[in-house]
Amino acid sequence: MTGIGERISYYKRQLPETARLVAVSKFHPVEMLSEAYDAGQRVFGESRVQELIAKREMLPDDIEWHFIGSLQTNKVKQIVPFVSMIHAIDSERLLLAVEKAASAIGREVRCLLQIHIAREETKHGFSFVECRGMLDRGIIKELKFVRICGLMGMATFTDDREEIAREFGNLQNFYMELKEGVFSGNNDFCELSMGMTEDYVEAVKYGSTMVRIGSGIFGERI
């Protein structure tokens, strides 16, 4: 098995210049993150608040921390002071909770709206209809400290590559609809976070700007 550094280099070579690698380090020990850091990786994705905080305290300050998991509103205040991006804004309530916490400390926070594109009901996110409805009600005007920077989605966990491509294609179409519509002229709205170890190849074909690779870099969690 190749080392973490070699695997990071491999994935970076596979990605177009328009896509960034988010190393999904959740559940993996700090020593493995340090090895990835020494190989030049600076963007890490975590999905548990306490684990993120603990790792941040032990690792260099120039790391860009992305929160990629389901976020409870009562834990928002703990990560807003430092998180670089929140990928999984899956409800209007959570969006407004981030706005409130960010406004309290005067810090802008970049966020992505999570869209439910998979067949699996266990995955979270707005439906296309729900997201359109929220945006049409003018919520953007209420946001002074949250910057909506794009969308995030997870495809169905399946070996059916056509299904995966269809789901990513649907998300790309919705992204373009919003970019040319409610976010027209908004340069902040430029990110499409989709694709993981099993399906990043399809994701980049449909315009992903951030792929979230975990097991491909760090191996399966023991």
pLDDT of res. 40: 97
DSSP H stretches of helix in the chain: 4-14, 30-38, 49-58, 76-79, 92-105, 128-136, 161-180, 200-205, 215-218
Could you give the CA distance from residue 45 to residue 217 in angstroms, rounded to a whole number? 12
pLDDT of res. 161: 95
pLDDT of res. 57: 97
pLDDT of res. 121: 73
Contact criterion met (CB below 8 Å) for 88 and 69? yes
Any idea which residue has 């993996």 for tokens? 28
Could you give the CA distance from residue 218 to residue 31 in angstroms, rounded to a whole number? 11
pLDDT of res. 221: 67
3-state secondary structure of 14: helix
DSSP H stretches of helix in 112-212: 128-136, 161-180, 200-205
Averaged pLDDT, groups of 10, the chain, 222 residues long:
89 96 94 96 97 97 97 97 97 97 98 93 88 95 96 95 97 98 96 97 98 94 60
- Domain extent listing, the chain: 4-218
pLDDT of res. 142: 92
- In CATH, what number does 4-218 get? 3.20.20.10
Could you give the CA distance from residue 135 to residue 115 in angstroms, rounded to a whole number? 13
3-state helix, strand, coil in the chain (%, to 5): 40, 20, 40
